């Protein structure tokens, strides 16, 4: 009986004896992995086609992070279906830090726009950090009698359902931004969706529509040329690139904030140490003067955020955009 007892207790005793050592070894191994990372090129999946604002910002970041981390971060554009194709590629990639995703605010809007996605927006991704904000700007044709947000609200209340506003399409950020404006200002405008931000801007410049909330990247050239007038910006603070233009919030709609972002994600399960290292080095990159300048050329501004802060922002934006999408009735399939 004594021999049997020894046989039963010995494995338990050895397990208890070695567990702290094993745990320490695992911790050290993980730390060494993060310290050595990246040991090979890293694929950066941008969930949008080449030449768009998300692509350009992602490419600038990839170029700079390659320099500071001493390893190539190469871009792989997987555009289409509002970013869901690229997101699906990353969701199904190994969680080793060698496949990353650059996506926009659309990432948290898609679960509301699509009846079914091939991945779970929250469970299949680990937030890494932000690259930049992509603020919107309320723009009108220079001949239109609107110079302030209060002017626009007064005109809309005096002429309900008579002011046309353009957007990049149903459920697009410009569409949802104006939907929030209508809700908060208690006005009703007429939505004219176009197939992208470019055609919507062209329609506004030609006078086909009266007003639009456009991305700064798509509207800046027209603003600088005097073909559009900037009335207000949709971020919660004034922009360095348009310091004289007030925010919507300070112009008559306190609490208004529709500041889009471009963020970094990894497959769920990616080691925390690696995520923190990428986040830390990204923060360094975003403070470089030439990085700030290059982003400004794309109508974007650096936005430093920890993984935890991004996770909180995702949850908040998911609820915000969900309410707006329900309000507009927008859907893709």
**Mean pLDDT of the 80-88 span:** 91
Residue 24 — very low, low, confident or very high, per pLDDT cuts 50/70/90?
very low
Provide the sign of the torsion angle of the four alpha carbons 76, 80, 86, 88, taken in this order: negative
CA distance 115 to 238: 36
Residue 17 — very low, low, confident or very high, per pLDDT cuts 50/70/90?
very low
Q: What is the model's pLDDT at position 7?
A: 54
User: Cα 53 from chain centroid?
Assistant: 11
Residue 48 — very low, low, confident or very high, per pLDDT cuts 50/70/90?
confident
CA distance 138 to 212: 6
Residue 269 — very low, low, confident or very high, per pLDDT cuts 50/70/90?
very high
Which of 196, 135, 133 is CA-nearest to residue 167? 196
Judged on CB neighbours under 10 Å (0-12, 13-18, 19+), 324 is buried
Percent of the chain with pLDDT over 90: 69
Judged on CB neighbours under 10 Å (0-12, 13-18, 19+), 16 is exposed
120: tokens are 């779970």
**Mean pLDDT of the 312-320 span:** 96
Q: What is the model's pLDDT at position 148?
A: 97
DSSP state of 251: G
More confident residue, 297 or 306: 306
| CA angle, residues 122, 128, 129, in degrees to nearest 5 | 110
- Mean pLDDT lowest among 13-27, 71-85, 173-187, 198-212: 13-27
Judged on CB neighbours under 10 Å (0-12, 13-18, 19+), 123 is exposed
Q: What is the model's pLDDT at position 333?
A: 64
**Mean pLDDT of the 245-264 span:** 94
Q: What is the model's pLDDT at position 312?
A: 97
236: tokens are 């919660």
Q: What is the model's pLDDT at position 81?
A: 86
pLDDT tens digits, one per residue of 178-236: 999 999 999 999 999 988 888 999 999 999 999 999 988 889 889 999 999 999 999 98
199: tokens are 């055609």
With a cut of 60, say whether residue 23 has pLDDT above it: no
With a cut of 70, say whether residue 21 has pLDDT above it: no
**Mean pLDDT of the 257-279 span:** 96
pLDDT tens digits, one per residue of 93-109: 999 999 999 999 999 99
pLDDT tens digits, one per residue of 116-172: 999 999 999 999 999 999 889 999 999 999 999 999 999 999 999 999 999 988 888
Element (H, E) at 274: helix 272-286
What mean pLDDT is reported for the chain? 89
55: tokens are 């692509």
Q: What is the model's pLDDT at position 14?
A: 47
Q: What is the model's pLDDT at position 168?
A: 84
């Amino acid at each position: 009986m004594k021999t049997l007892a020894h046989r039963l207790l010995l494995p338990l005793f050895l397990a208890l004896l070695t567990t702290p050592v094993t745990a320490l070894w695992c911790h050290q191994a993980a730390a060494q992995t993060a310290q050595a990372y990246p040991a090979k090129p890293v694929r950066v999946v941008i969930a949008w086609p080449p030449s768009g604002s998300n692509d350009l910002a992602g490419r600038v970041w990839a170029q700079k992070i390659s320099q500071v981390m001493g390893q190539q971060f190469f871009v792989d554009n997987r555009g289409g279906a509002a970013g869901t194709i690229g997101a699906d590629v990353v969701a199904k990639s190994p969680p080793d830090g060698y496949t990353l995703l650059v996506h926009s605010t659309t990432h948290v809007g898609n679960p509301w726009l699509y009846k079914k996605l091939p991945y779970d927006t929250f469970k299949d991704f680990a937030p890494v950090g932000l690259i930049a904000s992509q603020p919107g700007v309320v723009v009108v044709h220079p001949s239109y009698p609107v110079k302030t947000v209060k002017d626009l609200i007064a005109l809309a209340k005096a002429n309900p359902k008579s002011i046309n506003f353009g957007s990049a399409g149903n459920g697009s950020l410009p569409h949802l931004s104006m939907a929030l404006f209508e809700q908060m200002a208690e006005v009703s405008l007429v939505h004219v969706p176009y197939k992208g931000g470019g055609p919507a801007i062209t329609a506004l410049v030609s006078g086909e529509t009266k007003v639009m909330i456009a991305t700064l990247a798509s509207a800046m050239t027209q603003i600088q040329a005097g073909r559009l007038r900037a009335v207000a910006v949709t971020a919660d603070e004034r922009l360095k690139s348009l310091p004289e233009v007030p925010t919507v919030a300070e112009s008559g709609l306190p609490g208004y904030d529709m500041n889009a972002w471009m963020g970094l994600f990894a497959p769920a399960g990616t080691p925390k140490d690696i995520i923190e290292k990428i986040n830390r080095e990204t923060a360094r990159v975003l403070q470089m003067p030439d990085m700030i300048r290059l982003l400004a050329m794309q109508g974007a501004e650096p936005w430093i955020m920890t993984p935890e802060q991004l996770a909180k922002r995702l949850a908040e934006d998911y609820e915000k955009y969900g309410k707006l999408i329900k309000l507009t009735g927008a859907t893709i399939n």
